[in-house]
Structure 1
Amino acid sequence: MDGKVQLYQRTGSPNWQCACSINGRQQRANTREDSLSRAAVFAREWYLALISADRPAPNVRSDKASKPAKPTSAPRAIAVSGPPVRTFREAARRFMIEFEAITQGQRNAIYVHGHRRRLANHLVPFFGATAVDDIGAGMIADYRIHRMSNGRRGKPPARSTMHQEIVCLRQVLKTAIRHKWLDHLPDLSAPYGRSGKVSHRAWFSPEEWRTFDAALRERARNPLKEQWRTATENLRDCVLFMVNTGLRPDEALRLEYRDVAIVVDEATGERLLEIAVRGKRGVGWCKSMPEAVAPFRRLKSRNAGAPLDRLFPSLQNELFNTVLDELNMKVDREGQRRTAYSLRHTYISTRLMNGADIYQVAKNCRTSVEMIETYYASHIKNVIDASAINVRKTPPSRQKASAPPV
């Protein structure tokens, strides 16, 4: 408005005030907006309304003498509606439409469904009717308190669960910024927080793995019921396959027989599996340990696997957990629960313990070196080179001073 309208804030008030001068008279109004962009829109419309109210009425021709109109003073403040208020519910709806359309074929459907579930169960019920402009660091801290106080079965959500919800919240607010419903992203960091403890992911140590494998072998040879023999044999071969390939459970569930080929490795001359993996990182490749070949052949022969059939129509989690419970191995020393994912962790840890190159392990497992160093390498004793640490400095030998020449 070329400096004709001024915007300012009063001490102790988050709302913007606007002021202007009309015919030598100072006019002021409260925009009732804490967003500068929305306050500017209000001030512009407020100023134009004042200008139009101050203009004289046009001359009207009439037979009767017109009486002089009484001077009217301009109103002190005129309430003018600003742009439509965009709520968090609208931003969340827009985010899901964009996210599903733009990431189609690039993001796992389970990951996309996870965002939809977090919005429907937690974020929208809390923020739904709130304007995106009103969501600040304080309200986000209130959400954290709400979630920690109203967890499932009286337990607060895990740190990773809260992290995923905050990531989803950030994505929704970024969508609002793209559509100019929001000026800036509020502070989403957890107050009073510190870096979380990095703990080793649940795995099977060599001794624990031998115990677990022996129990699976015995259960496959002598099932509780004869009709369960095929299921127990498939479970053991599934476990052996995953612990010798390092596949994620969701990657294993997507495998078809045509994705796996038995090849002879040129570098080692060993027979192993070459697997085309489809997972959250897209399509990648994996080369197995030689011990994965026999379980794959047994699975294909036992289930008469056709090229388009799935290797594992489902993971038998119930039987898997039953065997762990019988061995009292469901929870490790750190209190971490063992799941099918623990087979992947066992593969990575075992490779590192045997001196495999950390970059090649990360490449074969479709992850980063940083992830392996953080969650695996720092807990493996074999990674520490004792010869490089236990170095002793040799003290200099004392030599007798030679007599000076005569």
Structure 2
Amino acid sequence: MRATADSTVILRPHELRLKRRSDSSIWQIHYKIGSRKKWLRITSKTSNLADAKKIAEDLFHEARVLEKRGLSVVSKKFKAVAEVVSGNLKAQVKAGTGKKSYADYYRAIDSYLTPFFGNYHVDNITPALISDFHRWRTEKVGYELKASTQNNHNAALNCVFDYAVEQGYMSESQRPSTKNTGEATEVRGIFSTDELIELQQFIHKWSAQGRATKTRYLRELLGLYVTFIACTGVRPGTETKNLKWKHIEFIQKPSMRIIHVTVPEGKRGSRELVARNELWPLLDKLRELQPEYKDLTLEQLIAKKEDKHIFRMRDGTLPYNLVNAFGDCLKESGLDKGDKDGKPRSLYSLRHYYATQRVLEGISFGLLAKQMGTSILMIERHYSHLRPLMVAEQLAGVIPSNQEAQTDEILRFMNPSPVRNDVISLVGASTGIYLPLVEANARATKELKDELNKAVSKAA
């Protein structure tokens, strides 16, 4: 055990002591309260030992009372706590270990929370003060922030409170409730499958009409980009800007091959998703755009785990502005007037389209939320109205009354038209390749063939 220094005076063993550094005449009070493992330190502001002892004892008794009442023993200004939290968030973002939302949090702390709450003690922020903050923020920006932005601010505020509670600067009972007075973000417009096919047909012509080579390359890539988002549900921009060939792998299952995608960056960091097997012609078309891979098959390229971006133009460069290009495309094609409800459409509408199609297929909200990297609550909020349509075909369908009709129904499933399969139709419209069922799902093909043979035998 380390020997006690001459400048240390023990008042209560393991609980309270005075200590004076060799370079100062002022006594420092060191104390522990309850189960707290860390020594708390505060200056006595006096060099007189008798006075320092009295101040230390008074402080210790007051601290014990505060702890018994469930209050913080040590108080800190909000600014001091917030600066530490903001610094930690910035370090995690810079190191690539933090969530993407951490950048939103530290910006909220630096731009809004610290300027308003900075000089208040973190354990003395009341619900009334939270309301004052909302009024101040609205005056600062000139309008009421959307609910999603206010949620980010609330999450950032709770990060500060979490750290304050952890350090003992406030108790959990002193944490004020946050509030959100913003309007929910309006749901983006949606596309129908027919509209996206029409859009792809337009892009083919539009690409050839570009005056500059770069423009033609950009429009060509845009067509493939649109279909990729519509068929995978990834977030445009956020989850595609750093997507590389090494992030895709083919996994062979007993019934079919799975396209497994690891999204390197997303709203909540890296995530994984499974793409429909029908997507492989689109990936092959993206391979063809990149001259260095012209001698490789898609399978060979995927196996090489190339550290190069998937969405590159024919000259090897990254697209300079797909957002503006998509807006121009909608305008030129006449699809910029909004959807059937008049809601404006953007690249993000393609993700909305993906979710809608999967819900109508009957995929569970839990599985869809995991696939799209979002919460079940968010899926339910936006797509629960589609539940009745999930079984519409079963409720409204007519069961064939004869074997010939049954055979026709089986054949219709074996040779799905673009109208019945949105993934096949969109990939086909983008690449000219329509993946037949036998390649999409060998087991389903065999089952359907067996049923067809049975039906034919009975009919004979």
Normalization by structure 1: what TM-score? 0.64
Counterparts in 2 of 1:251 and 1:52: CA distance versus 1, 3 Å: closer
AA in 2 matched with 1:252: T
Match of 2:196 in 1: 209
Match of 1:375 in 2: 382
Counterparts in 2 of 1:365 and 1:100: CA distance versus 1, 3 Å: same
Match of 2:150 in 1: 162
Counterparts in 2 of 1:85 and 1:341: CA distance versus 1, 3 Å: same
Counterparts in 2 of 1:157 and 1:284: CA distance versus 1, 3 Å: closer
AA in 1 matched with 2:177: L
Match of 1:252 in 2: 240
Match of 1:239 in 2: 226
Match of 2:76 in 1: 86
**Partner-residue secondary structure (3-state), 1:86:** coil
Larger Rg: 1
Counterparts in 2 of 1:114 and 1:334: CA distance versus 1, 3 Å: farther
For the pair 1:318 / 2:309, whether they are aligned, the reply is: no
For the pair 1:278 / 2:264, whether they are aligned, the reply is: yes
Structure 1: which 5+ residue stretches go unaligned?
A: 1-40, 54-82, 390-406
- Greater relative CO (CA pairs within 8 A, separation 6+): 2
Q: 1:331 Cα deviation (Å)?
A: 4.7
**Partner-residue secondary structure (3-state), 2:260:** strand
Counterparts in 2 of 1:360 and 1:241: CA distance versus 1, 3 Å: same
Bigger mean CA offset, 311-320 vs 328-337: 328-337
Describe the superposition over 1:166-223 as per-residue Cα deviations: whole angstroms up to 9, x where unpaired: 11112112212222222344433438x69x6696454323343234333333322322
Match of 1:140 in 2: 130
Counterparts in 2 of 1:150 and 1:234: CA distance versus 1, 3 Å: same
Match of 1:17 in 2: none
Task: Please give the residue correspondences for 1:67-106 in structure 2 after superposition, counting only pairs within 5 Å.
Answer: 86-99=76-89, 105-106=96-97
Describe the superposition over 1:294-338 as per-residue Cα deviations: whole angstroms up to 9, x where unpaired: 222222221236711111345611111222344353755667553
Counterparts in 2 of 1:304 and 1:130: CA distance versus 1, 3 Å: farther
8 Å contact from structure 1 (residues 349, 376) kept in 2: yes
In 1, Cα distance between equivalents of 2:310 and 2:355: 22
In 1, Cα distance between equivalents of 2:54 and 2:184: 64
8 Å contact from structure 2 (residues 259, 275) kept in 1: yes
Match of 2:307 in 1: 308
Equivalent residue in structure 2 for 1:365, among 351, 357, 372: 372
In 1, Cα distance between equivalents of 2:240 and 2:132: 40
Match of 1:36 in 2: none
Bigger mean CA offset, 214-223 vs 163-172: 214-223
Equivalent residue in structure 2 for 1:115, among 90, 97, 105: 105
Counterparts in 2 of 1:284 and 1:159: CA distance versus 1, 3 Å: closer
**Partner-residue secondary structure (3-state), 1:204:** coil
In 2, Cα distance between equivalents of 1:211 and 1:277: 29
**Partner-residue secondary structure (3-state), 1:188:** coil
Match of 2:176 in 1: 187
In 1, Cα distance between equivalents of 2:139 and 2:169: 31
Task: Please give the residue correspondences for 1:289-368 in structure 2 after superposition, counting only pairs within 5 Å.
Answer: 289-304=276-291, 307-312=306-311, 313-314=318-319, 316-326=322-332, 327-329=334-336, 331-332=338-339, 337-368=344-375
In 2, Cα distance between equivalents of 1:216 and 1:205: 17
Describe the superposition over 1:331-350 as per-residue Cα deviations: whole angstroms up to 9, x where unpaired: 55667553333222211211
Task: Please give the residue correspondences for 1:47-58 in structure 2 after superposition, counting only pairs within 5 Å.
Answer: none
Counterparts in 2 of 1:292 and 1:168: CA distance versus 1, 3 Å: same
Corresponding pairs, count: 310
Counterparts in 2 of 1:308 and 1:223: CA distance versus 1, 3 Å: same
AA in 2 matched with 1:308: D
AA in 1 matched with 2:310: L
Structure 2: which 5+ residue stretches go unaligned?
A: 1-40, 56-72, 294-305, 312-317, 397-460
Counterparts in 2 of 1:330 and 1:143: CA distance versus 1, 3 Å: farther
Counterparts in 2 of 1:386 and 1:323: CA distance versus 1, 3 Å: closer
**Partner-residue secondary structure (3-state), 1:253:** coil
For the pair 1:127 / 2:117, whether they are aligned, the reply is: yes
Counterparts in 2 of 1:331 and 1:96: CA distance versus 1, 3 Å: farther
**Partner-residue secondary structure (3-state), 1:252:** coil
RMSD: 3.8
**Partner-residue secondary structure (3-state), 2:264:** strand
Match of 2:140 in 1: 150
8 Å contact from structure 1 (residues 201, 336) kept in 2: yes
Larger % of helix: which? 2
AA in 2 matched with 1:137: P
Match of 1:5 in 2: none
8 Å contact from structure 2 (residues 86, 110) kept in 1: no
**Partner-residue secondary structure (3-state), 1:310:** coil
